[in-house]
Amino acid sequence: MDVTTILILLLVGAIATYFSGDKLASKVALFFSVATLGVSLYLLNEFSKGETINYLGEWMEYPKVYLALQADGLSMLMVLLTTALTPIIIFSSLGNTYSNAKSFYALVLFMSFAMTGTFLAVDGLLYYIFWELALIPIYFIALIWGNGDADKRKKAVVKFFIYTLAGSLFMLVAFAYLYQKTNNFLLGDFFNLRLSATEQFWIFAAFFLAYAIKIPLIPFHTWQAKVYQKAPTVGTMLLSGIMLKMGLYSVIRWQIQIAPQAAKTLMPYLIGLSIAGVIYGSIIALRQKDLKKLLAYSSLAHVGLIAAGCYTLTLDGLNGAVYQMIAHGFVIVGLFFVAEIIHRRYETREISAMGGIRSQSPKFTSLFMILVLASVALPGTYNFVGEFTVLYSLSQVNIWFAVFGGTTIILGAYYMLKMFQNVMLGETNTKVFASITTNEIITLVIIIAFLLFFGLYPKPITDLVNPAIKDILIHINR
């Protein structure tokens, strides 16, 4: 068994979901996503035993494209993130009913398929194909099942699509350029290229555009908040939980490895930009009136920090970035689910229309509180491990980076607590807040359990990622 099983399973799942009909769709999708999680856990086991689970097959002769799927610790972790979050996301959506559910869940699984592929591919074009493929389902999910005014939604979603596509097309040019030097797209062969500084710069820039838009870094983030707001929550979760990580993962896997010299030269500016994003996102989140938008900007701040970690090019920075990716993936999914839970009951995302929920639903409040605390990286949650490692690595580069990056500790607490206060606390709300269902509790508890467990005992993840990152660093410092 190798990693293709995951992909095939997801693809088959998508097709099966489509043909299972609207009523069964969610269950079939859930079944397949759980099965995929099982398979990927099994593969993790194989992987940790040292078995090879990579796959290398021929695909195209011209252009020379291999079906090269390789799982090192990093990829494996990202795949697990995807396959773990997908069932959670699907499970969380069981409380909603969607028109044309079969297409909806098929698209969700298909997106999961594409994202998994992105994390596994080590052939440039294959990777690019997966990368783009992931965009199409989310486009439709946001477009068709999104909320809010249709015209505005369209505008936001189309902007998102074109914008991200625009970025990635430049990446394609970079790949084309590399291709005509190596005559294939294998990552390994790209390493062996002796690219001049100028070449590296331009290739780095092309990749950067793609990733900066996807991650997003300021000032390329303008698509984010609106799409998060307009997309259905499942879409938002997929976007924020996994898809953003595609960009960050790619930075580590492709950008800094192919053009390390450029990365080193540009490092201060990149970190500076990322940290500016942290501060900008945090500040703008302070006064958001829409819950999902606020979470979107908090996401912007967090990914900024992760990106800063990636661009430090140090072991700690990369490790921390990966930890933080995982942590952020879980916590943001949880938070968006919280927004959804409230929306199910209050039919609103306006923060001002909420408040006073705590006295009605203490359980929900506690779970939400823990997520908020995880989001502000309270020690004991996995987010802290990530944030600490990243900030530490930043401090090793330049202490000021850590100081400014560290403002997220303060500002993050500020806007998250403010949000929590306005959403949950205060005089009991006149609107009845129906008590939280078991499904909802299960979803949140799984997420929280994950975050707390690895917050105290991050060693398994560390052991998985560390060797992979060390390999990557060897390439960077070649």
Q: Which stretch binds other proteins (CB under 8 A): 5-13, 42-50, 138-146, 265-273?
A: 138-146
Using the rule CB under 8 A, which residue among 158, 353, 441, 452 binds other proteins? Answer: 158
Residue 217 gets which letter from DSSP?
Answer: P
**211-250 positions binding other proteins, by CB under 8 A:** 218-219, 221-223, 225
Q: Which stretch binds other proteins (CB under 8 A): 9-17, 171-179, 340-348, 431-439?
A: 171-179
Burial label for 21, CB within 10 Å (0-12, 13-18, 19+), is exposed
Using the rule CB under 8 A, which residue among 34, 169, 276, 353 binds other proteins? Answer: 169
Q: How far is the CB of 31 from other proteins (least distance, A)?
A: 24
Residue 105 near residue 120, CB atoms below 8 Å:
no
- State how far the alpha carbon of 275 is from the alpha carbons of 223, 301, 306, 335, in Å: 19, 8, 9, 23
Residue 35 or 307: which CB sits closer to other proteins?
307
Q: How far is the CB of 422 from other proteins (least distance, A)?
A: 9
Binding of other proteins by 283 (CB under 8 A): yes
Q: How far is the CB of 360 from other proteins (least distance, A)?
A: 11
- State how far the alpha carbon of 137 is from the alpha carbons of 19, 41, 142, 157, in Å: 17, 25, 8, 12
- State how far the alpha carbon of 446 is from the alpha carbons of 21, 109, 259, 423, in Å: 29, 20, 39, 23
Using the rule CB under 8 A, which residue among 1, 166, 197, 434 binds other proteins? Answer: 166
Question: Which residues neighbour 239 within 8 Å (Cβ) at sequence distance 6 or greater?
Answer: 138, 227, 228, 231
Q: How far is the CB of 305 from other proteins (least distance, A)?
A: 13
Binding of other proteins by 172 (CB under 8 A): yes
Residue 249 or 382: which CB sits closer to other proteins?
382
Q: How far is the CB of 146 from other proteins (least distance, A)?
A: 9
**375-434 positions binding other proteins, by CB under 8 A:** 378-380, 385, 388-389, 391-392, 395-396, 399, 402-403, 406-407, 409-410, 413-414, 417-418, 421, 424-428
**432-461 positions binding other proteins, by CB under 8 A:** 456-459
Q: How far is the CB of 187 from other proteins (least distance, A)?
A: 17
Binding of other proteins by 60 (CB under 8 A): yes
Binding of other proteins by 478 (CB under 8 A): no
- Angle, helices 399-424 vs 382-397, to 10°: value is 150
Binding of other proteins by 276 (CB under 8 A): no
**97-116 positions binding other proteins, by CB under 8 A:** none
3-state secondary structure of 59: strand
Residue 267 near residue 397, CB atoms below 8 Å:
yes
Question: Which residues neighbour 286 within 8 Å (Cβ) at sequence distance 6 or greater?
Answer: 411, 414, 415, 418
User: Would you state the torsion angle of the CA atoms of residues 408, 410, 413, 419, taken in this order, to the nearest 10 degrees?
Assistant: -90
Residue 366 near residue 372, CB atoms below 8 Å:
no
Q: Which stretch binds other proteins (CB under 8 A): 188-196, 247-255, 279-287, 336-344?
A: 279-287
Using the rule CB under 8 A, which residue among 288, 298, 383, 443 binds other proteins? Answer: 288
Read off the tokens for 45.
Answer: 């086991």
What DSSP string runs through 280-329? HHHHHHHT--BHHHHHHHHHHHHHHHHHHHHHT-SHHHHHHHHHHHHHHH
Q: How far is the CB of 37 from other proteins (least distance, A)?
A: 25
What DSSP string runs through 177-200? HHHHHHSS-BHHHHHH----HHHH
Using the rule CB under 8 A, which residue among 84, 125, 243, 371 binds other proteins? Answer: 125
Binding of other proteins by 287 (CB under 8 A): yes
**335-364 positions binding other proteins, by CB under 8 A:** 356, 358-359, 362
